[in-house]
Structure 1
Amino acid sequence: MSGLLRSAWEAPSAVPPPPRRVWRDWVLFALVAVLVVVEGVFTPDLVNPLLSTAVVLAVTPTLLWRRTQPLWMLCIVLLPIDIVLPVASLTTSLFLMVIVYALFRWASGRDLVIGSVLVIASLSLTFVRGGGLLELVGGFALLLMSVLLGMAFRYRAGARLRLLERIRMHEREQLARDLHDTVAHHVTAIAIRAQAGTAVAPHDPSAAQDALRVIETEAAKTLRELRSMVRVLRDGETAELAPSPGLGDIAQLATTTPGGVVVEVAVSEPEVSIPPPVAAAVFRIAQESVTNALRHARHLTRVEVVAVADETGVRLSVVNDGDLAAPPAPGFGLIGMSERAALLGGTCEAGPRPDGGWTVTATLPRVGWAP
């Protein structure tokens, strides 16, 4: 039991952190304040209605700070409710349940334990003062509902965050493997040129100088790609050595499915070389886009993949004419593609077309990912 309490006490605050105040918070605050005044004016059987209304109005602004300081806001609300007895007769004082929800949704473990003790003590004090068993059961039911809602949304947000993190790690691991192959290629070229330069240097100094220039070029490329690798998180497993897919491999996506869906591919090969990490990322994004279209689009007949490369970078467009199987939402595949593009300093956007269908557009710079 002590271990369970210690674990609850040491639990961190919810992630991601609570959002800042938005217009909905001000609307909620204004609505509750108006309802408090209306109830105080038009409820004839209130005990000391002026005092009750004034006290509840005084603690209503706690709604604005309920996410960032839930425990303190709970204390501010509970204090007048427990000390000024007529306040308990105001139905609008039940906005306290919103504070309880915020406590279990956002607070740390220490604040959760302290807040739970305070709420249970408040309920017990109400019963001791003659609130009655029915009032105690009703208050406990409302409290339990707020607690369960807060914990459910807290768990849901945490689970989604963990899932997104696994997706990011998977994308970064794939990118790390592509970069591993590329760096290995450049280092091998450097080693071969260095051996050749050493062998011919005594007899042909100009050939040795050519070898040094090639080594300088290869080393510069390797350095840029090593810097990009710093931004990639990968686990401790040994990378599988395999050639990195390039722009030419996008042509492999062209096909006609048994259902009659035609996938057309057009690739504009550049006059200058595209770094292998960029080419691999473009291929992966095109591959994921085609897969998503074939898997999720209804009444699909055509998918068009166009990749245009020049000295600045690569622009990719994947368009299909299918209908959405569900309302547009940021799926995990789209998040993975955006993450891959962002790691290389580019962008990837997806969305429905005005005339029907779905489009994915990505732009990746030839050079420009952050070190």
Structure 2
Amino acid sequence: MLRDDLRTLWTEPRPPDAPARVWRDWALLAVCLAAVALEAGLREDVVWRPVAAVFAVGLCLLLLWRRTRPLAMVALAFGSVVLLQLASLVAARGEPVGLDTSAVVLVLVYALPRWGSGRDIVLGAAAVLAAFALCAVMDDTPPAEQIVGLVFLLLPGMIGAAVRFWGTARERQMDQVRSREREQLARELHDTVAHHVSAIVIRAQAGRVLAATDPDAAVEALEGVEEEGARTLEEMRAMVAALRDRGVGAELAPPAGIADLERLVRAPGDRLKVDLRLDGELDSLPPAVDAAVYRIVQESVTNAMRHAVGATEVAVRVTAEPHTVRVSVRDNGQRTGRVRDGYGLAGLRERAALLGGSLRAGPGTDRGWQVEAELPTARSERGAYSRPRR
């Protein structure tokens, strides 16, 4: 079991979203260099002042590559620590060489498990422990203090591993939300295609019956077959283009749509007043878009009930335009804590993107929370919903 865990750790890839260098890195470097300059200039008991200052500056510069080259930076930093300790031992200096600002090496210890691969983590941890063991042997520090120092050294690494695990778990949950949203959309598209195919079969049967006695009626039936076939082909193209995961389950009940919004907005009762306004021609929307509008309103109203502190009203607007349908949901409550999208909004964004539209969510201009979505009702040549070219 332990061997399998080590093999899994060794083959763990690096996080794919590691930023190379951002403005915070330069700010951190400036602060560290300023601290080095102050300590090297004002502190009186510095041993080998020029060497200690150059060593500290070198550690500060290593911070710039801590995400892109975490193993190399750790190896350089702790290798330099060992060399400095050996030089101090050879020179028979009784006092430690270095500045207190050299503690920036802890940032490299944090970055190793946060941004490194499994191989980097194993080799980097071995280098850190080897450097600490060598320094502990050459130092006269009591064992209790050495244990405290080891814990202090490894603590940033444990924090980095925890942050990485949390981020990976959240991304995995996001993937599951996207997968469920795609599966539900596939069910809805399956219902639509099944409806069209049934209509095709009925019209074809009618045309065969009327072919001998009423040719005109048979031709009309064939035109209906052609129309239904074109619609079916559009839905199938949309399914293939939008969905890469085609897991269609057994639950194929007709999806809720705009016609069900009146019943939905009555659900909150006295807890929250929902002002629903429907404008435009909303009866002829594609079934997938119709279901998406319902889901957006449902999730937004549910979020307002759960998270909007002091909210008394939610305004829901669904407007049909020539080639798009716009959905707007706003509440008049207050949001507490850090603003961040939940899994429900992530699923809605995925659904809107699959249909060729967009969804935005965030704080309102004065107060409350607003969700705005724009979904195209026309088709592109590839089958996904989009505005036709003018």
Common fold: TM-score over 0.5? yes
**Which position in structure 1 is the counterpart of 2:31?**
31
State the shift of 1:153 in Å. 0.4
Q: Which amino acid aligns with 2:235?
A: E
Matched, 1:276 2:287: yes
**Which position in structure 2 is the counterpart of 1:293?**
304
Q: Which amino acid aligns with 1:3?
A: D
1:239-283 deviations in Å (ceiling 9; x for gaps): 312222222222222327553532232223517721000010001
Q: Which amino acid aligns with 2:254?
A: P
2:365 to 354, 364, 369: 354
2:377 to 338, 358, 366: 366
**Which position in structure 2 is the counterpart of 1:302?**
313
2:118 to 109, 121, 134: 109
Moved more, 216-225 or 184-193: 216-225
Change (3 A) 1:215 1:88: farther
Task: Tell me how large the CA RMSD over aligned residues is.
Answer: 2.5
1:102-128 deviations in Å (ceiling 9; x for gaps): 001111111111111111110111122
1:18-77 deviations in Å (ceiling 9; x for gaps): 123110001111222222232223333222211221233234322111011100111121
Q: Do the aligned residues in 1 keep the contact of 2:109 with 2:154 (CA within 8 Å)?
A: no
Count of matched residue positions in the alignment of Structure 1 and Structure 2: 370
Structure 1 outlier segments of 4+, above 6 Å:
none
Matched, 1:335 2:336: no
CA distance in 2, matches of 1:325, 1:83: 52
State the shift of 1:83 in Å. 1.1
Q: Do the aligned residues in 2 keep the contact of 1:274 with 1:313 (CA within 8 Å)?
A: no
State the shift of 1:353 in Å. 2.6
2:139 to 124, 130, 141: 130
1:321-367 deviations in Å (ceiling 9; x for gaps): 23335453322222222222121111222233334333222111002
State the shift of 1:187 in Å. 1.6
1:259-315 deviations in Å (ceiling 9; x for gaps): 353223222351772100001000111111122222322333322222111331211
SS at match of 2:58: helix
1:133-174 deviations in Å (ceiling 9; x for gaps): 356334312222112111110111111111211211222221
**Which position in structure 2 is the counterpart of 1:48?**
48
SS at match of 2:318: strand
CA distance in 2, matches of 1:131, 1:96: 22
1:142 to 141, 148, 152: 152
Moved more, 313-322 or 173-182: 313-322
Q: Any gaps of 5 or more consecutive residues in structure 2? A: 89-95, 385-390
CA distance in 2, matches of 1:4, 1:301: 53
**Which position in structure 1 is the counterpart of 2:71?**
71
Matched, 1:171 2:172: no
Q: Which amino acid aligns with 1:19?
A: P
1:158 to 150, 162, 168: 168
Q: Any gaps of 5 or more consecutive residues in structure 1? A: none
CA distance in 1, matches of 2:282, 2:348: 26
Change (3 A) 1:104 1:325: closer
CA distance in 2, matches of 1:92, 1:298: 46
Matched, 1:90 2:91: no
**Which position in structure 2 is the counterpart of 1:118?**
127
State the shift of 1:214 in Å. 2.6
2:228 to 195, 218, 230: 218
Q: Do the aligned residues in 2 keep the contact of 1:265 with 1:304 (CA within 8 Å)?
A: yes
CA distance in 1, matches of 2:322, 2:208: 34
Matched, 1:80 2:85: no
Q: Do the aligned residues in 2 keep the contact of 1:272 with 1:310 (CA within 8 Å)?
A: no
CA distance in 2, matches of 1:326, 1:251: 32
SS at match of 2:226: helix
CA distance in 2, matches of 1:93, 1:227: 61
